[in-house]
Amino acid sequence: DQQVKQNSPSLSVQEGRISILNCDYTNSMFDYFLWYKKYPAEGPTFLISISSIKDKNEDGRFTVFLNKSAKHLSLHIVPSQPGDSAVYFCAAMSEGNEKLTFGTGTRLTIIP
């Protein structure tokens, strides 16, 4: 049972444009949602998180939007840069439980 889903395995975006990565979840008990960036053969790097009581969190070029009624979140990267090319994972967790439930990832390619 895939509780966190990233339905787009890959995405290509022109440099300077906006990249939008999407994530859906089924478990309404999740309290936090996180985005990680991952390069091959390395561990995921934390990017940004959002609490379930908020609908938006912004950090520099990264903004995460949460739509609880739709059980959907998205990560916006503006402007997109070549160094953003990586696999992006959406993850969710419940308060008091360190277990992260990951989506399957979206490979983002920024085209110069």
**Interface with other proteins by CB under 8 A: which residues?**
32, 34, 36, 41-46, 49, 51, 89, 91, 93, 95-105
The conformation of residue 17, written as its DSSP 8-state character, comes to S
End-to-end Cα separation, the chain, in angstroms? 38
Closest CA to 110 of 81, 89, 87, 88: 81
